[in-house]
């Protein structure tokens, strides 16, 4: 038995007439890294983005089934979507720093939710830049534009910005795919440290990364959930033939 932070029940997602996620039911454990793996186009990112209702941003999207977070269906009519997206943050594939200073990027979310005192904002900025492994590199130039940072630094800045609103769950969508190997390793190190305080769901096409980071694994194929379970079991003793074939590189 796992202690789920999110419980997905009978979830399907369609873009127009094309169903890309088909009747998925799975529990996502709390304070672990859950990796969603599978070949390109299998529904990994759609499943990830459905957790915080980001799939709705695409026109013509239809969603049915349930995504339960803290016992509440995030798709229920009375749900505050803004609050859901605060509690379930997203770190995207490519970094998108806001067109403002490094400091203001991290302070943006807390300000949006009502924090105004400078000393409080200062503490948040330092804490989250530390958590993202960026503080020592930028503490002397917090007022410079975020655009002056390298791509790897920008991704860590976006991580700090996401953490600044204190989410419970962090969704990570191919977060190292645009980074050089050293920057990717830094992000991976941060995620391993953060899982003691956050539940992390990671979409990755890199099996090495999934093996290195994941505590729990979800394997998707053609929009369907094929297998899920503890990482050691899925990687070392897969129960489904499609899982074994994917892990052995028979298809990508």
Question: How many Cα atoms occupy the beta-carbon half-sphere of 104 within 13 Å?
Answer: 9
216: which 2 tokens?
A: 């729990």
Give me the long-range contacts of 114-122 (CB less than 8 A, separation at least 24).
Answer: none
Where do the DSSP E strands lie in 131-179?
A: 169-173
Structure confidence at residue 1 (pLDDT): 59
pLDDT beneath 50: ranges in the chain: none
Q: What pLDDT sits at residue 250?
A: 87
User: Hey, what domains does the chain have and what are their CATH numbers?
Assistant: 4-247 (3.40.50.300)
């Amino acid at each position: 038995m796992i202690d789920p932070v999110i419980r997905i029940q009978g979830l399907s997602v369609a873009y127009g007439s094309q169903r890309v996620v088909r009747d998925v039911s799975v529990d996502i454990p709390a304070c672990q890294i859950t990796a969603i793996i599978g070949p390109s186009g299998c529904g990994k990112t759609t499943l990830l983005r459905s957790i915080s209702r980001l799939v709705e941003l695409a026109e013509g999207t239809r969603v049915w089934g349930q995504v339960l977070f803290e016992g509440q269906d995030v798709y229920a009519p009375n749900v505050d979507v803004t609050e859901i997206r605060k509690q379930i943050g997203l770190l995207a594939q490519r970094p998108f720093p806001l067109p403002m200073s490094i400091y203001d990027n991290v302070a943006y979310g807390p300000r949006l939710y009502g924090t105004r005192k400078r000393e409080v904002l200062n503490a948040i900025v330092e804490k989250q830049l530390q958590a993202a492994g960026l503080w020592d590199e930028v503490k002397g130039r917090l007022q410079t534009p975020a655009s002056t940072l390298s791509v790897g630094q920008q991704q860590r800045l976006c991580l700090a910005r996401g953490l600044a609103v204190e989410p419970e769950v962090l969704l990570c969508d191919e977060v190292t795919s645009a980074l050089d190997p050293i920057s990717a390793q830094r992000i991976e190190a941060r995620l391993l440290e953060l899982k003691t305080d956050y539940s992390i769901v990671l979409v990755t096409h890199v099996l090495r990364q999934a093996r290195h980071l994941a505590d729990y694994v979800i394997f998707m194929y053609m929009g369907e959930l094929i297998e899920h379970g503890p990482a050691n079991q899925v990687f070392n003793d897969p129960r489904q033939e499609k899982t074994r074939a994917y892990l052995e590189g028979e298809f990508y």
